[in-house]
Structure 1
Amino acid sequence: MPPYYLFPIIFLGIIILLGAFFIVKQQTAAIIERFGKFHSIRQSGLHIKVPLVDRIAGRLSLKIQQLDVIIETKTLDDVFVRLKVSVQYKVIKDKVYDAFYKLDYPHDQITSYVFDVVRAEVPKMKLDDVFVRKDDIAIAVKTELNDAMIEYGYDIIKTLVTDIDPDAQVKEAMNRINASEREKIAAQFEGDAARILIVEKAKAEAESKRLQGQGIADQRREIARGLEESVEVLNRVGINSQEASALIVVTQHYDTLQSLGEETNSNLILLPNAPQAGSNMLNDMVASFAASNQIGEAMKKADADKKKDA
């Protein structure tokens, strides 16, 4: 059994030995320095370093990362707008040394380039063009970043303009313009619909009038044909045309009176409408009363004679 004073030394030795082993995760690179100087780059797996001599200076992720940059700038038509540019990038596996030693703050470097490109491109465009040509802005940012960051071991995978946010007052004005345009289009459609209804209604009325006129013409044609046939029939039995016409008129007059009389609930009273019709009607009534009195007197006289003979 070793002396008690050796236990601390043995324990320290175990700790140092265990510290010689280290693990690098997948899609990660570890930078090893020896006495403060770059020594090697270790990829994923189990590795050994010299205790108290080598140290892990840092680790870099080889995965694709994303940095969101928000920039406020002014357009060609003097509208302030905020753009959100998302930059997707990764460390090039063969350039881990450059990415670790040449650049302390890659996020700040990328952000500076994004600001520079966006503030150079957007002021050349009007606000509407910013929305339409946002892909052109993204391509310009990616090209500029690739040329600048490749030297530092970073590969720019993709850049996206994910948000365009104009000033609040500008958005309200744009919304009012869009609403006015939609109301204008709606009014045009409503006007077209109303005009179509008016035209179709007029066509329908014209067709109705045409058919109505055609019906009246056909009716009059048939009446004339019937009158002509009636006159011909009467002429065959020795009645001349003037007498036949008078007879037809009288017949139609009485047919009209008969049709009116068939209406049981009718309150219609027919009166002559000629200028002398009143006096003629009064004379007819007086003559009717006189005839009635004469007939009554004659009947009374006949009854009296019968009683005497009896």
Structure 2
Amino acid sequence: MNITLIILFVLGFFILLSSFFTVRQQTAVVVERFGKFLSIRQSGLHLKIPLIDRIAGRVNLKIQQLDVIIETKTKDNVFVKLKVSVQFMVIRETVYDAFYKLEYPHDQITSYVFDVVRAEVPKLKLDDVFERKDDIAIAVKRELNEAMTTYGYTIINTLVTDIDPDIQVKNAMNRINAADREKTVAGFEAEATRIRIVAKAEAEAESKRLQGQGIANQRREIAKGLVESVDVLNRVGINSQEASALIVVTQHYDTLQAIGADANSNLILLPNSPQAGSDMLNNMIASFSASNQVGELMKKKNGKERRKRESDYEIPESPENPDIE
């Protein structure tokens, strides 16, 4: 008898304990009575009738993520694998629909993702798939929201997290990128070379310009010196022709002296005999005299021609009318 009471007491204790249950935060519990829906319990401590009511299932109200990998073909016949991450959750007010209407939500979401991606990607070329992956994600989210809202689910976000083309296509793309970068490098190197050449040419041009200015200034000073030398010689009774010849001969001997002072010089000045200076002086005086004679003859000839042209344009006076202008 005592054993029977103990057994009944233990059974009653366990039945009493089974009357209470707890629901965790962000979770909903579906309670059924004799297999029929009774109620939905939210987080906290709850009571049910033992052996009559039962917990049919627990529904997670947190945001969940499902990663779907799809292989499809682009418009330019390139096979790619896309990884689409879908973030979804059960709407708190529609837990009944989420629990009873849809048995395998992950499979349902995966099917819709496959359908949308394989409808959108074949419209795009491979480069456009990379550039417009956000458009693909928006299309997947729109289609999933329209379908899954009926079953008590809402789509928080969809992301195309990975695009993986065929390995040969990836290698080709890498080679294209490498070639493009080499082309850019070659362009920069060519531009740098051009800048160096232009800078060098500008520097040489500036050097030649300054050198020319130096030579011009040198010759100007030499000319001034020659003029002063001729004036000095004229004052002592030497005419301009003889003075010019004397200066040239003096410069000739100065040049010979400068050449002889350089031990490493291999320059040969012709003629270089002792008689060369005297011959050069005589030739220069003779040439100056001849040029003066030619100049005088040209002046006389030009004067005669000018007077002849003036006489041809004169109008003779008429004996009948001497006042004709």
Distance change in 2, residues 1:234/1:144 (3 Å): same
The residue number in structure 2 matching 1:274 is: 271
Distance change in 2, residues 1:270/1:210 (3 Å): closer
Q: State how far apart, in whole Å, the 1-side matches of 2:19 and 2:247 are.
A: 139
The residue number in structure 2 matching 1:183 is: 182
Residue 167 (1) aligns with residue 155 (2): no
The residue number in structure 1 matching 2:98 is: 99
Higher mean C-alpha displacement, 199-208 vs 48-57: 199-208
Residue identity matched to 1:90: M
Residue 72 (1) aligns with residue 39 (2): no
* Equivalent residues, number: 276
Residue 36 (1) aligns with residue 18 (2): no
Residue identity matched to 2:44: G
- Secondary structure in structure 2 of the residue aligned to 1:23: strand
- Secondary structure in structure 2 of the residue aligned to 1:206: helix
- Secondary structure in structure 1 of the residue aligned to 2:89: strand
Question: Does the Cα contact within 8 Å between 2:259 and 2:267 map onto a contact in 1?
Answer: no
Per-residue deviation, 1:241: 2.6
Report Cα offsets for 1:198-223 as digits up to 9, x if no partner. Answer: 22222221221122122112211211
Residue identity matched to 2:180: E
The residue number in structure 1 matching 2:313 is: none
Higher mean C-alpha displacement, 236-245 vs 107-116: 236-245
Per-residue deviation, 1:232: 0.4
Per-residue deviation, 1:55: 0.9
The residue number in structure 2 matching 1:151 is: 150
Residue 206 (1) aligns with residue 205 (2): yes
Q: State how far apart, in whole Å, the 2-side matches of 1:116 and 1:267 are.
A: 93
TM score, norm. by length of structure 1: 0.82
Question: Does the Cα contact within 8 Å between 2:66 and 2:85 map onto a contact in 1?
Answer: yes
Residue 50 (1) aligns with residue 49 (2): yes
Per-residue deviation, 1:133: 1.2
Distance change in 2, residues 1:72/1:6 (3 Å): same
Q: State how far apart, in whole Å, the 2-side matches of 1:142 and 1:195 are.
A: 54
Residue 129 (1) aligns with residue 128 (2): yes
The residue number in structure 2 matching 1:291 is: none
Residue identity matched to 2:88: Y
RMSD: 2.5
Residue 82 (1) aligns with residue 81 (2): yes
| Percent identity of paired positions between Structure 1 and Structure 2 | 73
Per-residue deviation, 1:244: 2.7
Distance change in 2, residues 1:88/1:229 (3 Å): same
Q: State how far apart, in whole Å, the 1-side matches of 2:191 and 2:245 are.
A: 59
The residue number in structure 2 matching 1:18 is: 17
Question: Does the Cα contact within 8 Å between 2:30 and 2:40 map onto a contact in 1?
Answer: yes
Residue identity matched to 1:13: G
Residue identity matched to 1:108: D
Per-residue deviation, 1:186: 1.6
Report Cα offsets for 1:126-155 as digits up to 9, x if no partner. Answer: 111111111111111111111111111111
Distance change in 2, residues 1:76/1:258 (3 Å): closer
Per-residue deviation, 1:67: 0.4
Q: State how far apart, in whole Å, the 2-side matches of 1:30 and 1:206 are.
A: 92
- Secondary structure in structure 2 of the residue aligned to 1:159: strand
Residue identity matched to 2:89: K
Higher mean C-alpha displacement, 240-249 vs 172-181: 240-249
TM score, norm. by length of structure 2: 0.78
Report Cα offsets for 1:168-202 as digits up to 9, x if no partner. Answer: 11111111111111111221222122122222222
Q: State how far apart, in whole Å, the 2-side matches of 1:143 and 1:8 are.
A: 60
Report Cα offsets for 1:18-60 as digits up to 9, x if no partner. Answer: 1111100111000111111111110000000111111111101
The residue number in structure 1 matching 2:223 is: 224
Distance change in 2, residues 1:163/1:220 (3 Å): same
- Secondary structure in structure 2 of the residue aligned to 1:97: helix
Distance change in 2, residues 1:213/1:43 (3 Å): same
Per-residue deviation, 1:4: 3.5
- Secondary structure in structure 2 of the residue aligned to 1:114: helix
Q: Which runs of 5+ in 2 are unaligned?
A: 277-325
Distance change in 2, residues 1:49/1:270 (3 Å): closer
Report Cα offsets for 1:93-123 as digits up to 9, x if no partner. Answer: 1111111111111100100111011111111
